[in-house]
Structure 1
Amino acid sequence: MTAPATPPFPGVGDAGPQRSFGPITRTDIVRYAGASGDFNPLHHDEHSAHAAGLPTVLSIGMFQGGLLGTYVTDWLGTASLHRFRLRFTARVWPGDTLSCSGTITEVENRGGQEARVVAELRCVRQTGDAVVHATAEYMWRRP
């Protein structure tokens, strides 16, 4: 009986499955506020949001960051995640549906059993507007 083949490293251009979240509700936002300790009234109080010139309350940016983090770790795992960087590009409002996607953009072989793998990630709303861009860097090791 032969040993199973060692799985290959992900390849440049490999894409993760798209995943959607939402529509985002005020309850989602308030739950995240409770979990994170971010009780800025712009995230839960309509009067405060209007006083700040906003049309309504807005989501906490790290909520979307957390969704993107969940997406990438469901796709590529957690064990070899080395770095995760986020850049917020737009606000998210109650009612938005968010879709996360990712593509492998770099694979740097570092010797037969190890590689540095970089995935570019995006979180977009239903209109196609990007709300978060991210990069996940893995130090991938074959078992």
Structure 2
Amino acid sequence: MRLEQLTEGDSHSQVVVHDLTRTQLVMYAGASGDFNPLHTDEVYATQVAGYDKVIAHGQLTMGLTAKVVTGWVDEADLSAFGVRFKNQVWPGDTLTVSATVTSVTKGPHGPEAELAFSTTNQDGVEVVSGYARLREAWAVEDR
């Protein structure tokens, strides 16, 4: 869908990860440089930190959440994105993001839209809430 087709109240849901794996957590640690043992070391996560197992990086969860925008709206620039982490994400979780258009306005280069979203796990527990602002993608020569 193109940005100019969005109207206030439109909504979209998308599964952004099925059965999050420990391998994905380790790969993200390598890509991000975040080697906090809470995310990769089972012994540390359980015996030192007191968790049941390793937990997903917050930034990984945020990045997965952003997939709802790219999976729904074509040719738009993301001008703002904010999240609130609500609960832990664990290996084995399946995450679904639901987004709703809360406003559509006319910006200096075309339409702009604000979305509110909620990311839940397979049990319906909210793990992230937040917002995104989109604006018309500018042509390369306009940037």
Which residue type is aligned with residue 82 of structure 1? S
In structure 2, stretches of 5+ residues that fail to align are: none
- RMSD over aligned Cα, in angstroms? 2.3
Aligned to 1:71: 68
Which residue type is aligned with residue 140 of structure 1? E
Aligned to 2:6: 10
Report if the CA contact (8 A) 2:3-2:113 is conserved: no
Aligned to 1:100: 97
Spell out the pairing of 1:11-90 with structure 2 (5 A cutoff): 11-50=7-46, 51-77=48-74, 79-90=76-87
In structure 1, stretches of 5+ residues that fail to align are: 1-5
Distance in 1, Cα, partners of 2:37 & 2:81: 28
Distance in 1, Cα, partners of 2:77 & 2:40: 36
Report if the CA contact (8 A) 1:7-1:142 is conserved: no
Query: Structure 1-normalised TM-score?
Result: 0.84
Distance in 2, Cα, partners of 1:135 & 1:78: 18
Query: Structure 2-normalised TM-score?
Result: 0.84
Report if the CA contact (8 A) 1:104-1:120 is conserved: yes
Which residue type is aligned with residue 56 of structure 1? K
Q: Which runs of 4+ in 1 moved over 4 A?
A: none
Equivalent residue pairs, number: 137
- Give the number of the structure whose alpha-carbon radius of gyration is greater: 1
Report if the CA contact (8 A) 2:4-2:111 is conserved: no
